[in-house]
Amino acid sequence: MSAANSPKQRIWLTGATSGIGRALALRLLDQGHQVALSARSEEALETLAAGRDNALILPLDVADREAVRCCGDTLAERFGSLDLAILNAGTCEYLDAGHFDVDLVERVFAPNFFGTLYCVDAALPLLRQARGEGRKPLLAATSSASAYLAFPRAEAYGASKAALSYFLESLRLDLHGEGIAISLIHPGFVKTPLTDRNDFAMPMRVTAEQAADAILSGLAKRRLDIHFPRRFTLLVKLAGILPPGLRLRLGLRMTRDTGAPDHASESSS
């Protein structure tokens, strides 16, 4: 999706002020698209959109279902329809199995799974409107390479992303007849304020700008699965189809190689 070969689109991007989301926002705005930017911090959104007539700021906590519904109403009023929705907002906390915390799991699922579904619910009527206008709408959501393979301490994060990937792959089948496509984004490790807090090795980590380039390239080609860096994600995919015993041995090696974090972190993807 480059400025040279893509018509200007009406786009909704969540998780827009940090990490991958911010890099995507800058790329899309620079390309001249009309971009509705959502994140929890209104101040950060205003800074991001400063001086850009093609930016619409919509402060939003995606875990607030009523707030998402109202955001959808505003999008309908301002844009009329959507060519592309990139649902990128999310959070990560690591679970210490020795102090099992169901509240932590619920906190992670709230934005990563249910929050994304609330946004799907808000975006679908606008994507359908675009289809009715003869365009080819696309819904994209940020999952994670952890959806391919279980990682230590990632019970909450990985499960929320795996649930999201399954849900949207299933929805893709049911929306196919309507002409609404779905792209799933499965990043490996990306250097963001969130991952900067991690205390374990992050092989083949890429920058947020590299991630944005990979995502926009994949969206332009309407890829079903946008995963990167491919050397890493292909290895994770391969490991994910190993027999259970081998997956267990691999996972135990990763457990020994990593220490339990002494923090919990929360941010947009």
The single-letter DSSP state of residue 259 is P
Q: What pLDDT band is residue 258 in, cutting at 50, 70 and 90?
A: very low
Q: What pLDDT band is residue 194 in, cutting at 50, 70 and 90?
A: low
Positions marked catalytic: 157
Q: Taking residues 234-260, report their average pLDDT.
A: 83
Query: Is residue 196 predicted with pLDDT exceeding 80?
Result: no
Q: What pLDDT band is residue 90 in, cutting at 50, 70 and 90?
A: very high
Query: Is residue 1 predicted with pLDDT exceeding 90?
Result: no
The 10 Å Cβ neighbour count of residue 139 is 24
Percent of the chain with pLDDT over 90: 83
Write down all domains in the chain, each with its CATH number in brackets.
Answer: 10-257 (3.40.50.720)
For helices 155-175 and 116-132, give the axis angle rounded to 10 degrees: 20
Residue with tokens 């993807």: 269
Question: Residue 53 to residues 35, 50, 72, 150, 187: CA-CA distances in angstroms?
Answer: 10, 8, 20, 43, 30
- In degrees, rounded to 5, the angle at the alpha carbon of residue 220 between the alpha carbons of residues 217 and 226 is 55
Pull the structure tokens for residue 2.
């480059």
Per-residue pLDDT of 8-50, as tens digits, reads 999 999 999 999 999 999 999 999 999 999 999 999 999 999 9
Q: How far apart are CA 157 and CA 247, in angstroms?
A: 18
Per-residue pLDDT of 212-243, as tens digits, reads 999 999 999 999 999 999 999 999 999 999 99
Q: What is the pTM of this model?
A: 0.89
- Judged on CB neighbours under 10 Å (0-12, 13-18, 19+), 66 is exposed
